[in-house]
A = this chain, B = another copy of it.
Amino acid sequence: MRKKVLIVFAQPEPTSLVRQLVDTGVAALEAEGHSVMLSDLYGMGWKAVYDAADFPERANSERLSFIAESGHAFDSGTQPADIAAEQAKVLAADAIILAFPLWWFGMPAILKGWIDRVWAYGFAYGYKGQGNRHRYGGGGLAGRRALLAVTTGGPAEDYSPRGINGPLEQLLFPVTHGMLFYPGMAVLPTHALYGVNRITAEGMEAAKEAWRARLKHLFDEKPIAFRAQNGGDYPDHHTLADDIAPGESGILLHIAK
Contacts and interface: CB of A to CB of B under 8 A. Distances in A.
B104 A155 contact: no
A151 to B, nearest CB: 12
Interface string A220-240: 000000000100001001111
B174 A239 contact: no
A16 B62 CA distance: 12
A53 to B, nearest CB: 10
B165 A12 contact: no
A171 interface: yes
Interface string A29-62: 0000000000000100010111110000000000
Nearest to A239: B162
A158 B240 CA distance: 10
B170 A106 contact: no
Contact of A162 (B63, B132, B237, B253): B253
Chain A's interface size range is 35 or more
Contacts of A164: 136, 229, 234, 237-240, 254
Nearest to A157: B238
A-B complex: 6 closest residue pairs judged by Cβ atoms? A109-B113, A161-B249, A105-B178, A105-B174, A166-B251, A109-B112
Interface of A: 12-13, 15-16, 42, 46, 48-52, 63-67, 101, 103-110, 112-113, 115-116, 119, 132, 136, 153-155, 157-158, 160-167, 170-171, 173-175, 177-179, 197, 229, 234, 237-240, 248-254
Given A13-B64, A166-B178, 19 more contacts: A12-B64, A13-B65, A42-B49, A49-B110, A50-B109, A105-B179, A109-B109, A109-B110, A109-B116, A110-B113, A136-B164, A160-B239, A161-B249, A162-B240, A163-B238, A163-B239, A164-B237, A165-B178, A166-B174
17 contacts: A13-B64, A48-B109, A67-B197, A104-B112, A105-B179, A109-B110, A109-B116, A157-B239, A160-B239, A161-B250, A164-B238, A166-B173, A167-B250, A167-B251, A170-B250, A174-B174, A250-B252
